[in-house]
Chains A and B, each alone.
Chain A
């Protein structure tokens, strides 16, 4: 169960090698979390992540999960929920893709969309139903500022996150009053493996900062969390910029 401050005792991470997710897990383990499920494609990195969290005293199990294989989600995630209540699901999988290449290779662009959006739709719905059955829990969805308004420089990734973001908001409204809390987290540029080598954007942040913001959001039962918080204002302005202006912005 979550405590009065929204800190979960059990955590399921979809996308078990995500740096943001693991930073969040570390933070929550220090507070209350004892059981952690890391769902992801089986890999040494996944096992290594599990080992690291075990070292902090948590009971960590890995589960083979592929965002692209939507048909398996029901079975794979069903098994996790059958083992006991999950107080928080962190939907953290996603790929950035390579905008320049993806524009020329529609199939790899579709892969980005399928991972970030359709994969999240099926996994999100499966988890939402399970959380609703247990009558409590938080579904934390890692969206992105890129989804707030699609930019020329990464609109394939951005559009997939826009879909995910809209889906998660709607799901949150659908689950309002069911005891399940859906929180959309919109980080800006986060310095991780995924963004390594990319030019750093203004207001760049770290996985640890996102983890802190998630913990605060849980305590406040927030529905939307921006990291850093200043992005809320920046994006409010950018969202209303005329197309002709927005197109020319160096972002």
Chain B
């Protein structure tokens, strides 16, 4: 499948240069911190993308999808940013075998719209559907099924990569370029198309078990004991709770509902995908809406409203996986100052470090209402891929919180000392010296980059900040 497209890609010539729309704009990540200015280029064809890459000047460029990376991964001060969302065609779907060949700019939302009626689902989805396939590979994203299914790149069979020389290569699994690109934050080249293996589903509903955990130890015990029974598992954790209830949580775990679990009415359209949406968050909101009081109140209510134990509740895909997608631009609730998302993983056996970190966050009263804890399964071979077997905690914090920078630096030290790491797709503030400790294969990544891209054509604010 798709052989025709690949032939065409490989015979690109310079003759097909066209004038592309480009505008100079201020760009930030989803956290809306550290804005920088770049030329935003909107290619609609592979030829235009290749022409853009060949024409980049000394400050280089970086591909960008839907801008859901929280930090500075998809911005490039003074250079170019390649808006990939114009390359959004789905080329071929193998309905029997369960694979899809699509452009890198296709969003997981679009894939769900197209694939669910056919009985297929994306292999991995993060907390938002609004990420592109290219971004999913570049950040090697994970979802609630990581303990079973691994990260996104595990399900990618091959992709087409536009490299710094302007050429296009087909990259298959098991090659160094594949492993450098999976989690490589767009720095090895521009993914143009990808072939992805899909997950079969009988219905578009989820069967969800909910339970509460009274504290962190209870939570970890429950996750350890029964996670293997569920394909999807995550725990929302109240990081403002103190004392004996520190780490109290609500676990939501489940799987795709089988057809016979649906009520008769729903069985008529078992694969319908109707996410539904609220109005957007307003463009200007004051800062400090999410302070300790409001978040504390929210967390209290959220915990109390969750059932102590409930099994087999049917939920929509959007409710289970992507509750925040219901409010477009929800990131605006943090106001002009934006927010920082901190996500780290520490391996199994490092539970003490996790406990210390949760305690520090709780003692410091960081107002975080979007904190989740999850157990990861086996890691994948991506050199800069984030997941590894262990515990991962993700939390959002308003960037304006005084002293937050120093506090997160201290958490980094704990994480690094426990042989853990932080997630680059969410990072906007890591101390560069810690990167090599956290990602032992950083050296290989850097030398592959030097070889493949000696002039540094692919550059982002993230790569400048951390010396990637």
Chain A residues at the B interface, C-beta cutoff of 8 Å:
1-7, 9, 31-32, 85, 133-136, 177-180, 216, 219-221
Chain B residues at the A interface, C-beta cutoff of 8 Å:
26, 31, 33-38, 59, 71-72, 76-79, 336-338, 340, 399-400, 402, 404-406, 428-429, 431-432, 461, 464-465
CA distance in complex: A180, B26 (Å): 10
Q: Which residues of A contact B78 (CB under 8 A)?
A: 133-136, 179
Q: Contact at A4–B34, with CB atoms within 8 Å?
A: yes
* Contact A5 B405, CB 8 Å, known A136-B461, A219-B399: yes
Q: Which residues of A contact B72 (CB under 8 A)?
A: 1
Q: Contact at A179–B400, with CB atoms within 8 Å?
A: no
Q: Contact at B26–A31, with CB atoms within 8 Å?
A: no
Q: Which residues of A contact B431 (CB under 8 A)?
A: 32
Q: Which residues of A contact B404 (CB under 8 A)?
A: 5
Nearest CB on A from B228, distance (A)? 37
Q: Which residues of B contact A1 (CB under 8 A)?
A: 34, 36, 72, 77, 461, 464-465
Q: Which residues of A contact B36 (CB under 8 A)?
A: 1, 135-136, 179
Q: Contact at A4–B461, with CB atoms within 8 Å?
A: no
CA distance in complex: A124, B190 (Å): 38
Q: Which residues of B contact A5 (CB under 8 A)?
A: 33, 399, 404-405, 429
* Contact A134 B71, CB 8 Å, known A1-B465, A3-B34, A5-B404: no
Q: Contact at A136–B37, with CB atoms within 8 Å?
A: yes
Q: Contact at A220–B400, with CB atoms within 8 Å?
A: yes
Q: Contact at A4–B429, with CB atoms within 8 Å?
A: yes
* Contact A177 B34, CB 8 Å, known A1-B465, A3-B465, A5-B405: no
Q: Which residues of B contact A31 (CB under 8 A)?
A: 405-406
Interface of B, helix, strand, loop or mixed by DSSP? loop
Q: Which residues of B contact A3 (CB under 8 A)?
A: 34, 405, 428-429, 465
Nearest CB on B from A183, distance (A)? 14
Q: Contact at B77–A134, with CB atoms within 8 Å?
A: yes
- 5 A–B contacts from the bound complex (CB under 8 Å): A3-B405, A85-B464, A135-B36, A179-B35, A221-B337
CA distance in complex: A221, B32 (Å): 12
CA distance in complex: A216, B436 (Å): 29
Nearest CB on A from B191, distance (A)? 24
* Contact A135 B465, CB 8 Å, known A31-B405, A179-B26, A219-B399: no
Q: Which residues of A contact B400 (CB under 8 A)?
A: 219-220
CA distance in complex: A156, B223 (Å): 71
Q: Contact at A4–B428, with CB atoms within 8 Å?
A: yes
Interface of A, helix, strand, loop or mixed by DSSP? loop
Closest to A84 in B: B464
Nearest CB on B from A168, distance (A)? 20
Nearest CB on B from A13, distance (A)? 21
CA distance in complex: A212, B336 (Å): 21
Nearest CB on B from A132, distance (A)? 8
Q: Contact at B71–A4, with CB atoms within 8 Å?
A: yes
Q: Which residues of B contact A7 (CB under 8 A)?
A: 405
CA distance in complex: A180, B72 (Å): 16
CA distance in complex: A220, B399 (Å): 9
Q: Which residues of A contact B428 (CB under 8 A)?
A: 3-4
Q: Return the contact of A4 from the options B26, B336, B338 (Cβ within 8 A).
A: B338
Q: Which residues of A contact B38 (CB under 8 A)?
A: 135, 179
Q: Which residues of B contact A136 (CB under 8 A)?
A: 34, 36-37, 77-78, 461
Nearest CB on B from A23, distance (A)? 17
Nearest CB on B from A145, distance (A)? 24
Q: Contact at A179–B33, with CB atoms within 8 Å?
A: no
Nearest CB on A from B400, distance (A)? 6
Q: Which residues of B contact A177 (CB under 8 A)?
A: 26, 37
CA distance in complex: A221, B35 (Å): 10
Nearest CB on B from A130, distance (A)? 10
Which A-B residue pairs are the 3 nearest by beta carbons? A135-B78, A179-B37, A135-B77
Q: Contact at A4–B464, with CB atoms within 8 Å?
A: no
CA distance in complex: A208, B338 (Å): 27
Closest to A177 in B: B26
Q: Which residues of A contact B429 (CB under 8 A)?
A: 3-5
CA distance in complex: A133, B31 (Å): 24
Q: Which residues of B contact A178 (CB under 8 A)?
A: 37
CA distance in complex: A18, B400 (Å): 28
Q: Which residues of A contact B464 (CB under 8 A)?
A: 1, 85
> 15 other contacts beyond A4-B399, A177-B26, with CB at 8 A cut-off?
A1-B72, A3-B405, A3-B465, A4-B71, A4-B340, A5-B33, A7-B405, A31-B405, A134-B77, A135-B78, A136-B78, A179-B26, A179-B35, A179-B78, A219-B405
Q: Which residues of A contact B399 (CB under 8 A)?
A: 4-5, 219
Q: Which residues of B contact A135 (CB under 8 A)?
A: 36-38, 59, 76-79
Q: Which residues of A contact B31 (CB under 8 A)?
A: 4
Q: Contact at A216–B402, with CB atoms within 8 Å?
A: yes
CA distance in complex: A103, B406 (Å): 48
Closest to B38 in A: A135
Nearest CB on A from B145, distance (A)? 29
CA distance in complex: A10, B311 (Å): 55
CA distance in complex: A2, B405 (Å): 12
Closest to B25 in A: A177
Nearest CB on B from A14, distance (A)? 21
CA distance in complex: A198, B35 (Å): 42
Nearest CB on B from A182, distance (A)? 14
Nearest CB on A from B31, distance (A)? 7
